[in-house]
Amino acid sequence: MKSLNPKNSITAFLEYLSIEKRLAKNTILSYERDLGSLERFIKKQKVKTIESATGTDIQDFISYDFKAGLSPRTIRRKSSSIRSFFHFLQKRQTIKINPAKNIRVPKTRSNLPRTIDPDQINKLLKTSGKTFIEIRDKTILEVFYSCGLRLSELVGLNLMDVSLENSSLKVLGKGNKERILPIGEKAKQSLVYWLKCRNQLEKGCVTAEEALFLSNRGTRISARNVQKRLAAWGLKLGVAEKIYPHKIRHSFATHLLESSQDLRAVQELLGHENIGTTQIYTHLDFQHLAKIYDQAHPRAKRDKGR
C-alpha cells in the first residue's frame, strides 16, 4: 500500500480533479475546504492522519458538523466530497477500503427556490434603458431568462460566444462542458442594442475586450456586481420577489417545463448531466400534473355520468 501524508493525498486528489476531471476552480476550492475541515477534525479529535480514518471517525465528523448547526444540505455536500476523496485513494491503492462508503447523512428537505411569477418576470423585462449600465442590465436580465444560465456561465461569456446570425449562445458550464443554447427574439434584440453600446466605450477603457458583459470600468463584470444589480432592479420596479440569478434560472426551467412537459429538453438547456437533477430542480403543481395525466393517459378517462 502506498504511503502518502495527508497533505500529499489531498493535493494529489485536487490535482486529479483539476487535470483529469477538469472541474471548475470554485468546485475544486469547495472540495479543498471540505477535506480540510475533515483533516483538522481527524487530527484534533482522533489524533491520527486522514488516511487512517475509519468509518466511525468519519461518522463522528458528520455528527459533529450536524450538532454545530450545519444544514443537512451542506453536510450532504461534504459527505459527497469525502466519499470521492477516499474512493480516489482506494483506486490509487493508498488505502484498501473506502471508509466513507456507508456513512449516514441527515436527510434534506427539498427547499427549492420560489419561482418568479410570469407577470413579475414581464414587469422586470419591460424595463428600458438609456445609459450604459441600464442597457447592460436589461440585456443581462433578458439573457438570464432566455437561456436559463448559471451566474458563473453568464459572467464567463465572451463576444465570440454570441452568434446573432444563428440566434445562439455558446456556454461553458460545469466541468468545462460546452453547450449551444438558442437565444429568444427579445434577448437577441437586447444583445444587438447592448453590443452597439458596448462598442462605443473608449478603447483605452476596455481591459477585457473578449468579455461580453463589462463593468463601467471596462473590465469583465463580476458575479457579485450582477447579483447586486439584479436585486436593485427588483426593488426599483417593485417586484414582489427578491431577484437573484438562481431564482431566474429556476423560473426559466419551471415555466418551460410547465409549457412543454419535455423534461429531457429542459435537462439539455440547463446543462444537467443527470435527469434526476432536473427533476429535483424543477417542480410542477400537482393539479397541473393531474390535468396532464387525465388528458393523456388512456386509462385515466373517467365516465362523467357516473
Lowest mean pLDDT: which of 215-224, 254-263, 288-297? 288-297
Of 78, 249, 250, 255, the catalytic one is: 249
Residues 6 or more apart whose CB falls under 8 angstroms from that of 146 comprise 183, 184, 186, 187, 252
Q: Which is catalytic among the residues 46, 76, 92, 174?
A: 174
Residue 60 near residue 45, CB atoms below 8 Å: yes
> With pLDDT > 70 as the criterion, what percentage of the chain qualifies?
82
Does the structure show a pLDDT above 90 at 224? yes
Note if 246 is an active site residue. Answer: yes
Residue of 246, 288, 291, 293 marked active site: 246
Mark whether 299 is an active-site residue: no
Q: Indicate if 104 belongs to the active site.
A: no
Amino acid of residue 162: V
Annotation marks residue 255 as catalytic:
no
> DSSP for 38-84?
HHHHIIIII-S-GGG--HHHHHHHHHHHHHTT--HHHHHHHHHHHHH
- Sequence-distant (6+) residues with CB within 8 A of 119 are none
| CA terminus-to-terminus distance, the chain | 73
CA dihedral 196→199→200→201, nearest 10 degrees, is: 140
293 classed as catalytic: no
What confidence score (pLDDT) does residue 264 get?
78
More confident residue, 297 or 51: 51
**Which residue out of 83, 188, 198, 281 is catalytically annotated?**
281
Looking at domain 6-91, which of 3.40.50.720, 2.40.10.120, 1.10.150.130, 2.30.40.10 is its CATH number? 1.10.150.130
Which fold, 118-290? hpI Integrase; Chain A (1.10.443)
Is 87 designated active site? no
- Average pLDDT rounded to a whole number, residues 299-305: 52
92 exposure class (CB count in 10 Å sphere: 0-12, 13-18, 19+): middle
Is the full-model pTM beyond 0.75? no
| Nearest residue to 178 via CA among 187, 165, 169 | 169
Q: Where are the domains of the chain?
A: 6-91, 118-290
Catalytic residue among 83, 138, 150, 220: 150
Largest CA distance in the chain: 78
42-91 residue pLDDT tens: 998 888 899 999 999 999 999 888 788 888 878 888 988 999 999 999 99
Identify the residue whose cell numbers are 365516465. 303
Task: Evaluate whether 6-91 and 118-290 have a shared fold.
Answer: no
Unique residue bearing C-alpha cell 480516489: 88
User: Per residue in 193-219, pLDDT tens?
Assistant: 999 988 877 555 655 578 999 988 888
Query: Which pLDDT belongs to residue 2?
Result: 46
204: exposed, middle or buried (Cβ count in 10 Å: 0-12, 13-18, 19+): exposed
Long-range contacts of 59-68 (CB under 8 A, 24+ apart): 59/103, 59/104, 62/103, 62/104, 62/105, 65/37, 66/106
The rounded radius of gyration (Å) of the Cα atoms in the chain is 24
Q: Report the distance separating Cα 99 and Cα 212, nearest Å.
A: 46
